[in-house]
Structure 1
Amino acid sequence: MFGIVKRLRRRRLRRQPFPAAWRAIAERNLPFYRRLGDDDRRELERLIVIFIAEKSFEGCGGQGIDDEVRVTVAGQACLLLLRRDADVYPRLDVILVYPTAVMVEREEHEGVIVRAGRRIHLGESWTRGMVILAWDHVLSGARVGNDGANVTLHELAHQLDAEDGAMDGTPQLEGGARYRSWAKVFSAEYDALKATLRRGKRSDIDAYGATNEPEFFAVVTEMFFEKPTALRRRHPELYDELRAFYRQDPASWPRR
């Protein structure tokens, strides 16, 4: 019964016009929005409407929630869903937005607290329906779309990773062959990144990706959408795996 109600509600939401004020926010804050083709832009708008209708945004630490916050977060989140014919983050319920980097008192793994301690976070993604974001970094990451650093893409990639029940660096894929190809390429690239850093050398992939496999997936997702040409040139197999998963080819987007 719930599934029928959800489908009917989604159908109504998809027919809603995209508000002109929201479009102005997207054009101002989301450089990729202007680079998408007309069909992709319309589909992104439909996904944004659904995301905003179904997810709860809560301001923390004095942060207000307005259309700019909602559209800027939702637009980046829904970029990861474009063309994938996927549900709209079914495990995500709440986005907590702080004005700036947040001090977190605990760490969770698969919904279980595994370590206590104070850590400064620009964002955090939990498997129990919550994402925490720092608005100043959300906005700067959105507006500067070519530096490979985007906290919203990073944290929402974690949500995609967790949709199969485990945040392990491997999202839900289609068929055994895809899993085997993914494991081969991602394991090799992850090991190569760690080896490069152990030698004291720099990598074009952010060093935070060497933390563990889930962080590697989130970091290369940022790079895939923000520095796609460099990723395709230097890590072609990794780029191809991400292109197959996201069903997008941002290295070929026109410049606008």
Structure 2
Amino acid sequence: MRLTQATLDAFHKDGAVLIKGLLHNQVDLLRAGIAKNMQEPGPYAAENVTEGHTGRFFDDYCNWSRISQFEQVIFESQLAEVAAQLMQSQSVQLFHDHVLVKEPGTSQPTPWHQDSPYYFVEGKQTVSFWCPVDPVTDATLRFVAGSHHWSKPVLPIRWASAEDFYAGEDIYMPIPDPDAEGMSVVEWAMQPGDVVAFDFRTLHGARANTSDQRRRAFSVRLVGDDARYVERPGRTSPPFPDHQMQVGQKLREDWFPMLYPRV
């Protein structure tokens, strides 16, 4: 797929853009993979509904190597080629996959956050793809346009407890309230197979799923030429224990496979 200049411009200006139908042919694969993931959760699986809320908000990540459907989508779809265009990168490397499921009647919202502060990788060439396998309207992802250009990262928190993820809050800015503060928020109603692409640094969140339909979504995080390992003030998410990388190194390819150019 060759992206239009308008799509590329929107990604770089706003930090998020909708690409309709990018994974339309992979929806059945993703549904099967998500079902397997929920039946056989990995070590990082979490339930994110807190006291006082209803429903179920499940998430899990780093399962592509054991769930063949995820591996097939990541390695055989157009995601890597599209990522190269969005990031203006000669290479595309897999960081990790992520499944997020909000069952019908789940009152727990996804808190506003940036992905980058949770990760041990930094660079201006990053992209996350988020693909629902159910139609989504109110429970879609929401983004603060241009927040990937902010000079200071937003403080990461633990979703289930709302506690600070790291010590050293002075290096982060407080989590804003984009609606109350009148920030420019972009969001899209999406059909199964539509994909929203966004920079790791773009502030985003999602409302509760008050509908009578599931909101199952599959996400893939990819990095480009300038991505390098960095140290954070504490354990990152995902943690990738015993990775043995040093500050300033590119991510090791035996753990984080190169997807583009294709070998």
TM-score normalised to structure 1 length: 0.24
TM-score, normalisation: structure 2: 0.24
Give the number of the structure with larger relative contact order, counting CA–CA contacts within 8 Å between residues 6 or more apart. 2
